[in-house]
Amino acid sequence: MEDVEVSLNGQTLGRWPELRLPESLATGKIRLEARKEGYFPLAQDAYIEPGRMTDAALQLTEEPAKWWQTWWFWTVTGAVVAGGVTTGVVLGTQDSGSPAPAGGTVKIR
């Protein structure tokens, strides 16, 4: 995953995959944090043992879409708008039921 901001014990290391890693770490507990737009932030503790390589897998979880970004919101919105337009057209073109006025000129000789 690209463009993930990673920090170690509160110090920013950079963005994955271009991190500025320290040459060595003291034995003991460390805290790794990862952040990326659109994902939940992650914090993970690891323990550094002397003379051993320590792996830490940082797996970010994508945030769910906001309610106004979901398919169902736009489907319902489209249906409501289409229904309103249809109702307006039907009511606007409907005959009122009263006869149209009639008239003319009568010529008498």
Total number of domains in the chain = 1
The pLDDT tens digits of the residues spanning 54-75 come to 777 778 888 887 777 788 888 9
89 inside domain: no
Per-residue pLDDT, 28 = 87
Tell me how far apart the alpha carbons of residues 53 and 100 are, in angstroms, rounded to a whole number.
Answer: 93
CATH of the domain at 53: 2.60.40.1120
Long-range contacts of 86-92 (CB under 8 A, 24+ apart): none
Which segments of the chain have a pLDDT < 70?
1, 95-107, 109
Q: Which domain holds residue 49?
A: 1-76
pTM summary value: 0.53
Question: Contact, 34 vs 2, CB < 8 A?
Answer: no
